[in-house]
Structure 1
Amino acid sequence: MSEQSANTNGLRRRTLLRLSAAGGAGAALAAAQTWAAPLLARRGLLSPDGAFAATSTALGDVVFYIEKFPTSPLIVSPFSDPLPIPKALAPVPKSVYNAWRNPPGPGPGQQNSLRNEQHQLWPSRIGYPDPIVYKIDVLLRTHAFTTSQVLPIDSDGNPTVSFDSSGRTFAAGTKRTLPPSTIYGFNGTFPGPMINAEYGKPALVRFENHLDENPLNLDRQDFGSPDWSFLTHLHNGHTAPESDGNPHYSMVSGPKHPGFLPRMWVDQLYLNWPAGNDDREKQSFFWFHDHTMDHTGSNVYKGLVGLYPIYDPKNGMDMGDERQGLRLPGVRKNNPDGSFDVDYDIPLAFSDFRLDDGVTTHKDIHDVQGEFPAAKNPAKHREWWGKTFYKHFPNHGFVGDICAVNGTASPVLEVKRRKYRFRFLDASVSRIYEFKLMSSTKGAKSSVSLGYEDDELEGQYRIEDGQQCMQFTQIASDGGLLPFPIKRHSFELWPAKRREVVIDFTRYQDGTPTTKGDVIYLTNVMKMPNGRMWSNSSRFFPDPKYKVPLLKFVIGDNAPDDSRIPAALRPLPPLPSNWQSMLDNRLIFEVKRGAAGGETEWLINGKAFDPAAVAASLTNRAGRAPLAQQKKGSFNLWELRNGGGGWVHPFHLHMEEHRTVMRNGKDVTRAGDPGHPDDVSKEDLAALDPGESVILYRGFRDFVGPYVAHCHNLAHEDHAMMFGWEITP
């Protein structure tokens, strides 16, 4: 959209937002420092940015977006659909891919359909075999979140009218079957396929874009990359830039575009090789998702999510076989097609959604820019009733009121009386979860029946009488296996983070044995009414009534169990004894809301993401402001600062994991931080509470080229909170 077409009454959009920010912030801050000061300070809002954020919604509603979300229809029969447990994707036989017109290979031009890239490091150069080849098509398809009937309700919880695709009206109180939602899916499903990978066995995945094809004549609605491009990132694979799927690479190399367009393909080479060839750097659970510049959030929300557990067969340590190595829960089954599945080892991908009510007006900055002309927004869309609703640019971030686990809302899983390994993934746009295992005498009751309304309807059901009945044993974070297992009453899961836990379904935490038919609810106790941050959690004003069940476990029959929970798992790579001497020369990056708003609402070091440039650090204690360039094979300290405003930021750095060495000026290398106990492990995402700072130690090994770092609140990432960095020879 041109600047001229962005004018509103002769005033350009960015100019208007900049002026309103300055005036609004000053007035709001003056008011905030009187009666509201204690409350705002407690929430991290006592700053010009925070005060402006608290008062800016009205301006946006008038000009650029409407801060109004629909209330999803109530699922009438929750916990009746079985939890989908994904099966491993079969590799492509060698005879088949060798017959492709453009077979994979290490030569020049063999990395993508544009013939302009080459794999930087082919497996033979590190003594590995040729890769196992997979094929994944990016497709336009449909997805159903529940088979239950639903009752349309309004924000007060009252039955309301609903519509069908032709606009026909159904009277209030009419129960309906949800129409399938339009998705972009890896192989056409949500979540997409699961690749069970192993260290020492590289994988090459050919992603092919077919989003221009619409065999079902589907309405694409008003979200998803407008030019139907995609860009796949294996989060947080140790990969070369051309296979990393990041826009700092894609905008200057390969497609030279935010993503790969329809009818293009790209071969992503995942070496399944630990950083520095150090076994201590091995991880255990990746996922892959879209990373198209400016539309990552909408493409992920629209379905572009896949799973990538990775096992370690060296000495049988962690290969999905509970009879050897660490003996973590899992019974491996090798399939004739070359893949393998592992029973009792289950990934759980959490994502939250809103479904259109047909009466909420669609309007955000992307509509003002004319990216979705067929929608003719601002408009209400009766024809989209019951389908996924998305807002690219909400002032307060995006959270849904229905939570899906592996793509199904309120599922149920019958479990054997034995130990299970669960791999948790937060695939939501903005929502953070806190999980507990709870029992309930009364069972799940709808929030409507309990008298709740508006934001309190989020999650749809509650177990107000819920009591914690079991503990988790955490065995891994997003950086792989921990040094030793940790007992947890609860744990937080931030966007893009992974946590792996063992649950023993044979007995409760008081030692009482479970019996067949018992019910345990995996329950979210973190209330997050919008994308800014939580309002209540175990460590921040707990709400004893906010107990939202997301997954129902039903105890079944006994089963053999050869698994154990070992006393030790995987040692951490050592920190250098003199890491404190590196503090003066650290690189510093501050994440903060921008005053101008609009497409550059979220900034790093005061600047929006420039895909063609490498970011510069703030001035450090040595008086330098170095570029974010690191020599191949080097290590360094990077500091991330949350600039305030009452926002939390899950900040992700591509390519290698880090160790948190300091949080808020305190050394956390020994005991960790009470609010962030995973600081003692390896991670690829730093959780920043309001006003916090962390200092991270990390390596830059094995590859050269451009990468990115960004907030994984995808509404922030898509509106400029990202910076480019690179590894140099």
Structure 2
Amino acid sequence: MKRRSFIAGSMAAIAAPGLVGRVRAQPVFGGQLPIPPLMEVGEESGNRLDAIEGTHAFIEGEQAQTLGWSQDHLGPTLRMRRGRTARLTIGNRLESEITSHWHGLHVPGWLDGGPQSLIASGRNIEQALDIDQPAGTFWYHSHPHGRTGDQVYRGLAGLLLIEDDRADTSVLPSAYGVDDIPLIIQDKAFTRRGNLQYDDGGMAAMQGFRGDRIAVNGALEPVAHVPQGLVRFRLLNASNARVYVLSFDDGRRFHQIASDAGLLPAPVSRSQLQLAPAERAEILVDFSNGAEARLVSQDVPVQMMGGMMGGGMMGGGSDLEVLKVVVGGSRPATVSELPQEFSGAYLPVFGEPVRRREFRLNMMMGMGMMRAMFGGRPTFGINGQAYDMGRIDQQLRRGETEIWEISADMMSHPFHVHGTSFQVLTQNGISVDFAETGMKDVVWIENSAEILVRFDHPATPEAPYMYHCHILEHEDSGMMGQFTVS
């Protein structure tokens, strides 16, 4: 029996694929889409984020215990500007340690917020982030080793936007919350009393935790009221493990205008869009005809990831409700014509690669399968080694371009690299068109991929960068490495 088939069969025999918990109380559906408050973060002091405990009503009449950044659940949208310093005070009002990882930002290792940069309970840290990268949609979340999955799932995450005065963005919708709308997409599971349910052991750790309800900005299947015209959605897959294949139920096409690290060279017409955990995309949708629509996602079974059942990611499955869109907001759309190209697109600037590195994502090292079968957390790794905070796995030099080849066995993984953005060269041996993907910081590894990467900021042994699977249960179980840049 092939190894992949054995794993798929084992998972199906031990647990229902991917889902933990079922809603027993009446869920709250169809409410107004919440818009996270916008925080302008500049050089002045007083910009503060505190990790706090809170309660949040996902379910009618029930209050779930949650975490958030300066609010009960999730955090404000931070807006920073290229060429300026963003000063922040990060406070920890929880009993457990946290970090503040700036996912996608090009900052030195000691500002990156990886597992080495722990913030103890009751402590504050001051950070000054020098922003020098193109406009884009990024995010921030806590990143302590072994607890990232639980903390992000419960709400320690938020969007981060970079604006760039060098780019002509006047051709794009830009009224935040009106025709420029953030969508933080997460899946949730609930207990009978409406509290959040989370499991990072056994098969939940093997497959990655997946809930059976979809929340957007903290609300289950909400309604967005949008103006008649072009609307910009900033999409973030902030789920621990679920991959979304997004489309509109009426079959309408839309245009992708940005990916992880910023604008594409020109809009790309699509009928559906795949987002793996931690990936972002910006899309323009035309609502000028006034017709409402539903944003839905295919419910892709876990065993299909990586082609275990021969179907790949884009096949089958019933639709999950994500968001209902109703046309007729109180303010008009600011843009009516689709732009043909973007002057501020993030174009790759790499020298010739000087070396090649290989990274193999390993499932179930040692007694990992036995631990998973009996409800424990399995051990994963990269290149045969589970993550060790005291070990530096790679040493790189600033300004040198490299090719990284990443491969996966048993199932697919979203692979994230801290401290930079990269170009995807190939996936499964097939060349990737840069115009379709743009610059990235997460790449989907179905079997193998090659990326072109360079680092322009330092990272020391005391505060290294990370590379890891962004299925958070895999990361927490050891599928992560760390590296220095000097």
Other-structure match for 2:132: 273
Deviation at 1:74, TM superposition (A): 6.1
1:586 aligns with 2:356: yes
Other-structure match for 1:328: 172
Other-structure match for 2:442: 685
Other-structure match for 2:29: 78
Other-structure match for 2:123: 264
Give the alignment partner of residue 230 of structure 2, picking from 402, 413, 419.
419
* C-alpha distance 283-560 of structure 1, shift in aligned 2 (>3 A): closer
Amino acid at match of 2:441: D
Deviation at 1:707, TM superposition (A): 0.6
Name the SS of the counterpart of 1:355 in structure 2. Answer: coil
Q: Give TM-score scaled by structure 1 length.
A: 0.60
C-alpha separation between the residues in 1 aligned to 2:328 and 2:311? 32
1:724 aligns with 2:479: no
* C-alpha distance 637-560 of structure 1, shift in aligned 2 (>3 A): closer
C-alpha separation between the residues in 1 aligned to 2:350 and 2:237? 32
* C-alpha distance 420-537 of structure 1, shift in aligned 2 (>3 A): farther
Name the SS of the counterpart of 2:390 in structure 1. Answer: coil
1:317 aligns with 2:168: yes
Other-structure match for 1:550: 322
Name the SS of the counterpart of 2:131 in structure 1. Answer: coil
Deviation at 1:685, TM superposition (A): 0.4
1:604 aligns with 2:382: yes
* C-alpha distance 77-229 of structure 1, shift in aligned 2 (>3 A): closer
Amino acid at match of 1:82: Q
Do the aligned residues in 1 keep the contact of 2:248 with 2:293 (CA within 8 Å)? yes
Other-structure match for 1:161: none
Deviation at 1:527, TM superposition (A): 2.5
C-alpha separation between the residues in 1 aligned to 2:11 and 2:302? 18
Do the aligned residues in 2 keep the contact of 1:637 with 1:696 (CA within 8 Å)? yes
1:392 aligns with 2:200: yes
C-alpha separation between the residues in 2 aligned to 1:200 and 1:484? 24
Report Cα offsets for 1:528-567 as digits up to 9, x if no partner. 3579679798964334xx2222111112168253454321
Other-structure match for 1:403: 214
Where relative contact order (Cα < 8 A, 6+ residues apart) is larger, the structure is 2
Q: Percent identity over the alignment?
A: 28
Give the alignment partner of residue 418 of structure 2, picking from 646, 654, 658.
654
Superposed, which structure 2 residues align to 1:161-176 within 5 Å? none
| Paired residue total | 468
* C-alpha distance 145-200 of structure 1, shift in aligned 2 (>3 A): same
C-alpha separation between the residues in 1 aligned to 2:235 and 2:425? 25
**Structure 1, unaligned runs of 5 or more:** 1-31, 33-45, 92-128, 150-176, 213-227, 251-258, 275-281, 332-340, 358-384, 440-467, 508-513, 616-627, 672-676
C-alpha separation between the residues in 1 aligned to 2:43 and 2:236? 30
Amino acid at match of 1:611: M
Q: Give TM-score scaled by structure 2 length.
A: 0.89
* C-alpha distance 77-295 of structure 1, shift in aligned 2 (>3 A): closer
Do the aligned residues in 1 keep the contact of 2:82 with 2:135 (CA within 8 Å)? no
* C-alpha distance 541-241 of structure 1, shift in aligned 2 (>3 A): closer
* C-alpha distance 552-263 of structure 1, shift in aligned 2 (>3 A): same
* C-alpha distance 639-704 of structure 1, shift in aligned 2 (>3 A): same
1:197 aligns with 2:197: no
Deviation at 1:85, TM superposition (A): 1.1
Deviation at 1:346, TM superposition (A): 0.9
Amino acid at match of 2:156: L
Other-structure match for 2:57: 144
**Structure 2, unaligned runs of 5 or more:** 372-376
C-alpha separation between the residues in 2 aligned to 1:188 and 1:497? 24
C-alpha separation between the residues in 1 aligned to 2:395 and 2:439? 22
Deviation at 1:141, TM superposition (A): 1.1
* C-alpha distance 191-595 of structure 1, shift in aligned 2 (>3 A): same
Give the alignment partner of residue 187 of structure 2, picking from 348, 352, 367.
352
Report Cα offsets for 1:358-406 as digits up to 9, x if no partner. xxxxxxxxxxxxxxxxxxxxxxxxxxx2200100122332100111000
Deviation at 1:667, TM superposition (A): 3.3
Give the alignment partner of residue 565 of structure 1, picking from 338, 343, 354.
338
Aligned-pair Cα RMSD in Å: 2.7
Amino acid at match of 2:174: G
Amino acid at match of 1:555: V
Do the aligned residues in 2 keep the contact of 1:399 with 1:531 (CA within 8 Å)? no
Do the aligned residues in 2 keep the contact of 1:477 with 1:500 (CA within 8 Å)? yes
Do the aligned residues in 2 keep the contact of 1:131 with 1:202 (CA within 8 Å)? no
C-alpha separation between the residues in 2 aligned to 1:596 and 1:283? 45
1:505 aligns with 2:287: yes
* C-alpha distance 343-703 of structure 1, shift in aligned 2 (>3 A): farther
Amino acid at match of 1:639: E
Other-structure match for 2:466: 708
Superposed, which structure 2 residues align to 1:150-549 within 5 Å? 177=61, 179-212=62-95, 228-247=96-115, 249-250=116-117, 259-274=118-133, 282-314=134-166, 317-318=168-169, 322=170, 327-331=171-175, 341=176, 343-357=178-192, 385-393=193-201, 394=204, 395-439=206-250, 468=251, 470-507=252-289, 514=290, 518-528=291-301, 540-543=314-317, 546-549=318-321
Deviation at 1:352, TM superposition (A): 0.6
C-alpha separation between the residues in 2 aligned to 1:56 and 1:547? 22
Do the aligned residues in 2 keep the contact of 1:633 with 1:701 (CA within 8 Å)? yes
Do the aligned residues in 1 keep the contact of 2:28 with 2:58 (CA within 8 Å)? no
C-alpha separation between the residues in 2 aligned to 1:267 and 1:596? 42
Do the aligned residues in 1 keep the contact of 2:110 with 2:459 (CA within 8 Å)? no
Other-structure match for 2:374: none
Deviation at 1:437, TM superposition (A): 1.2
Other-structure match for 1:667: 431
Name the SS of the counterpart of 1:587 in structure 2. Answer: strand
Amino acid at match of 1:496: A
Do the aligned residues in 2 keep the contact of 1:243 with 1:267 (CA within 8 Å)? no
C-alpha separation between the residues in 2 aligned to 1:533 and 1:73? 33
Name the SS of the counterpart of 1:389 in structure 2. Answer: coil
Do the aligned residues in 2 keep the contact of 1:132 with 1:203 (CA within 8 Å)? no
Amino acid at match of 1:654: H
* C-alpha distance 651-283 of structure 1, shift in aligned 2 (>3 A): farther
